[in-house]
Structure 1
């Protein structure tokens, strides 16, 4: 039985009850809202795996709610609508919708769309994490490169010798290379104790 948490928002009580009951019976954890603002508030608090939003809701539309959930909570959306309006579908797609279903819809039709949306959402989140890790790695490498450059300039060392000296000192002090490089870069405009300590340690190693 799945433990995925699903947020369902629809201003039509019959549709809302029908969907939430069907999904609960299918094993999902279901939370529900009757308007867009409540959906955003509930979604940001409960952090569902997926939001199923009716597009035409009073006050805040489903598309506006989806935008808030995506930007503030990284919550993906599957849209419901009583209208197969091409323009609305295009807007929903631009907002990153993982699916668009036309009502009326029963649970048997909805579950395959939910499972496909959950799989796609997981893939997108993994891509975002990978991108974040890559940015962090680039930043760390940039600081290491700057630290190596500082050492090269200060002691007229070549790039490999400078890198080896900084890495050896990081191991000696049980520090992460990136953290040592960051500290060296921060101190480069002021005190020289750290870079001098790295140099002296390198000399001891021969």
Structure 2
């Protein structure tokens, strides 16, 4: 967990309490310090961000967290106005906690946010896999089309030719399709 607050007393008190509750906690006194930790490879399961900080506020930091593999976050602020809450939610806040709040009151909200963060991380992974599958499928479809035209075959027959080539060469169908696309591009661009 990454705790970001410019108030040193709040930072040390919360960090100590969260560690006592069983969490691994990194701390930062500013958005710049938090970004430096993240740039050095620290990937917390959850960031707890103070809203009002000098230079770069918690909302701006929340927006920048997208650059660090979608680090999930909750806002922790003395401000509970609708505009602040709406902005935090629009940036992806999993929760908005209002100061003062003790660790015992924070833990249930943090556990819920951690669960949601894990679900979101899993969804991001599945999205990436699906996007990759679509790219592969598109490549295979294009290779099937090229094979259909080149050899005057039906779609199924062209697919069977590619699948047989993949099996014979002990390669993935996507790799054979990629080779067909590269060969076709080389022939048509020259």
Please, what TM-score do these two structures have when normalized by structure 1?
0.87
User: Aligned pair in 2 of structure 1 residues 73, 189: CA closer, same or farther (>3 Å)?
Assistant: closer
Name structure 2 gaps, 5 residues minimum. Answer: none
* Aligned alpha-carbon RMSD (Å): 1.3
Alignment partners' CA distance in 2, 1:17 and 1:168: 64
Alignment partners' CA distance in 1, 2:122 and 2:81: 32
Residue 96 of structure 1 aligns to a residue whose secondary structure is coil
Q: Which residue of 2 aligns with 1:143?
A: 139
After TM superposition, give the deviation of residue 190 of structure 1 in Å: 2.8
Residue 150 of structure 2 aligns to a residue whose secondary structure is helix
Q: Larger C-alpha radius of gyration, 1 or 2?
A: 1
Residue 80 of structure 1 aligns to a residue whose secondary structure is strand
Q: Which runs of 4+ in 1 moved over 4 A?
A: none
Alignment partners' CA distance in 2, 1:189 and 1:182: 10
The Cα offsets for residues 50-73 of structure 1, whole Å up to 9 and x where unpaired, read as: 100100000110111111122333
Paired residues, number: 187
After TM superposition, give the deviation of residue 191 of structure 1 in Å: 5.2
Alignment partners' CA distance in 1, 2:161 and 2:70: 42
Alignment partners' CA distance in 1, 2:147 and 2:78: 66
Q: Which residue of 1 aligns with 2:169?
A: 173
Alignment partners' CA distance in 2, 1:44 and 1:80: 23
After TM superposition, give the deviation of residue 14 of structure 1 in Å: 1.3
Please, what TM-score do these two structures have when normalized by structure 2?
0.94
Name structure 1 gaps, 5 residues minimum. Answer: 1-5, 193-206
